[in-house]
Structures are given as C-alpha cells and as structure tokens.
Amino acid sequence: MKTKQIKILMRLISLICIVAFIWMTIHHFDARLLFDLMHRLVSQPWHTSYMFTMYGLAFVLRAIAWKWYLPHAHFQTCVDGLFASLFINHIFPIKIGDVARIGICAKQHRIPFAIVAQSVIVLRLFDFIVLFLFAFLGAIVYMQTLVRSALVFPLVVAGIIALFVVLQQINPSWIQKHKQHWNVIRKSRRVGSIVVAIVFSWVCEAVVLFEMAKMIAFPLSFTESLWVNSMAVGGQVFQMTPGGLATYEAVMAFALTRIHSDWEQAYALALATHLFKFLFSYVVGLYVWWRIPTLWTFVRKENVT
C-alpha cells in the first residue's frame, strides 16, 4: 500500500470518527451528566489528585523507559521531552510533538539527532505493540458484542492501516543504520525492563478512566478500563484535531457501550476523561515552557518548516 493511499485512508477514517462524534453529540449528549461528573471532580480534590498523580506516573514510567534506552540522556530531559510532546499534540491538529521531544533531548545533551529519533521510534513501536495486545485481548473477550456492531468493519480496517503506519517507520536501511545501537541495548538486557515500564505506564493511564467511571457508577472493571483506554489511545493514530478531539471520544464511547449500553453515560465519560487529559497536558506544558523558554520558538520553527 502506497504512502499516499494510506494517508487518504487515515483521513477518511478520521472524518468518519468526527462524523460519529457529531452524531453522538446530537443524540447522546447529556449536559446534566457531564456537569455532575465535573462537579464531582472539583468537589473531591483528593480523588482528582490521585488521578492526576497516576496519569503523571504513566509519563514518568515512559521517561524511565526512554532513559534506559538512551543512557546518555538525563532523566529530567526525558520527562521534559515527553511533557512537551504531550502539550504540543494537544494544541496542534497534527502529531508533531515527537519532533519537539527529539529536539529537546538532542539539543540538551548534544546526542546525534538520528540516535534520539531512533529511540523515539522504537519506544513508540513498543507503545503500539502493548496497546495492540491490550486491544486485541479485549476484543477477543468482547468479540460477540463487537461482531454484532455495524462499526466492526471500520475498526478492522483502521487497525490494519494503523499497523501499516507503524511498519512504515521501519525499513531495512533504517534497521541497518541503527543496528549497532540496537544490539548494544539488546545485549545489555534492558529491553525487558523497558517493556515492563511501558506496560505499567499504560496500566497507570487506565486508572483515570476507571476512577471516572466509579464517579458516575458506570459498571466498568479495571481490566475493561485498560481495554477501553487502549482502544481510545490507539485511535489517536488518526488524529486530525488538537489532542485527537472527536476521534478519542468516538472510539472510547463506542468501546464503553460494548460493555454497558448506556450511550449517554459512555459519551459523558469519554468527554470528561478527555477533558481531564487536556487540562493535564496544559499544566505540564506550561511547566516545560517555564523550564525551557525557547520551546515555543522551536515549535513554531518546526511547524513552519
């Protein structure tokens, strides 16, 4: 499949998700439910702080994994790079956060840009594999409800395209170019620790959805939260809006209704969870901006070029 065809299909799937989001908003938006959930978040600061901490821990674990993969980088730089990437992906319609992530690390420690880029690509690949496994295992468990859904075919197509997008990042010349660096990592036996850190990072992120669901008594176990979160985050491959707005809500609401068919609750839960993640990204983004005042200049330069 050619790159141009993949891009067209990705945009088509993104547009389908946006249309689904609009349809859900018209038919299933319940302002009372959403405001009630937001009120609970404000009135339960300890509960909200716990969610904020667990979501932050997810990025700390990813920073640890990055540090293990790229020993020359400082842990603080890895954290800054990840937070900057998150922030930028939530203010621009396309995913350019990793460009800033690579640039920050390469500039701070004078590590060759290609080496840092390779580390980010490999770690993104690990992320995708972990999310794919969580989503695949969940799909097997909920296969009966998925098969009965009219959206199962678009989901299968989307999954195949996402796989093509990831595999496109890896080609024989790229592998050969960074083979020596990869062999050093593999022989150091850090790969297992890196994968474990990544797995637990996604487990921590699923806590946000699990705790949100408890606030409105939505029947969702933690393993179900892990599956739904993996589906929603995986759908961000097709991001065409800041933070994947619309795509995230459409995929999460659909996955939630495979478990409990209350569209109003599922839609409110998807909106509130995504709003929480938006607010988190802005808070840590301002923190990184304070630490690295040149961040905005760098982002504007990369966005223009």
> Tens digit of pLDDT for each residue in 45-94?
999 999 999 999 999 999 999 999 999 899 999 999 999 999 999 998 88
| Domain around 242 | 3-304
pLDDT for the residue 207: 97
**CA-CA distances (angstroms) from residue 151 to 134, 147, 285?**
19, 9, 35
Token couple for 167:
């595999």
Higher pLDDT, 107 or 144: 107
Residue 204's pLDDT band (cuts 50, 70, 90) = very high
Say how far apart CA 153 and CA 150 lie, in whole Å: 7
Burial class (CB in 10 A: 0-12, 13-18, 19+), 88: buried
Burial annotation 22-58 (CB, 10 A radius, 16+ → b, else e): eebeeebeeeebbeebbebbeeeeeebeebbebbbbb
Could you give phi then psi for residue 218, rounded to 5 degrees?
-80, 125
Using the predicted structure, report yes or no on whether residue 296 has a pLDDT greater than 50.
yes
Q: How many domains does the chain have?
A: 1
Task: Give me the chain's average pLDDT, please.
Answer: 84
Higher pLDDT, 195 or 139: 195
Burial class (CB in 10 A: 0-12, 13-18, 19+), 61: buried
pLDDT for the residue 17: 87
Say how far apart CA 60 and CA 217 lie, in whole Å: 30
> Tens digit of pLDDT for each residue in 12-53?
878 888 999 999 999 999 999 999 999 999 999 999 999 999
Using the predicted structure, report yes or no on whether residue 304 has a pLDDT greater than 50.
no
pLDDT for the residue 285: 93
Using the predicted structure, report yes or no on whether residue 142 has a pLDDT greater than 60.
yes
Lowest mean pLDDT among 30-34, 132-136, 143-147, 182-186: 143-147
pLDDT for the residue 168: 56
Q: Under a CB-based contact definition with an 8 Å cutoff, are residues 57 and 262 in contact?
A: no
> Tens digit of pLDDT for each residue in 228-251?
999 999 888 778 899 999 999 999
pLDDT for the residue 202: 97
Question: Which range has the top average pLDDT, 108-112, 165-169, 221-225?
Answer: 221-225
Q: Under a CB-based contact definition with an 8 Å cutoff, are residues 289 and 85 in contact?
A: no
Using the predicted structure, report yes or no on whether residue 2 has a pLDDT greater than 80.
no
pLDDT for the residue 145: 54
Lowest mean pLDDT among 185-194, 276-285, 295-304: 295-304
Helix, strand, coil abundance in the chain, percent, nearest 5: 85, 0, 15
Using the predicted structure, report yes or no on whether residue 167 has a pLDDT greater than 60.
no
Using the predicted structure, report yes or no on whether residue 174 has a pLDDT greater than 60.
no
If DSSP codes are grouped into helix, strand and coil, which group holds residue 218?
Answer: coil
Burial class (CB in 10 A: 0-12, 13-18, 19+), 284: buried
> Tens digit of pLDDT for each residue in 252-275?
998 999 888 899 999 999 999 999
pLDDT for the residue 277: 97
**CA-CA distances (angstroms) from residue 65 to 106, 107, 119, 176, 192?**
17, 20, 10, 23, 10
pLDDT for the residue 305: 46
Angle between helices 45-69 and 31-43 (to 10 degrees): 80
pLDDT for the residue 299: 61
Residue 154's pLDDT band (cuts 50, 70, 90) = low
Say how far apart CA 140 and CA 101 lie, in whole Å: 35
**CA-CA distances (angstroms) from residue 98 to 1, 15, 57, 121, 264?**
25, 23, 19, 9, 35
Residue of 130, 155, 160, 132 lying closest to 255 (CA atoms): 155
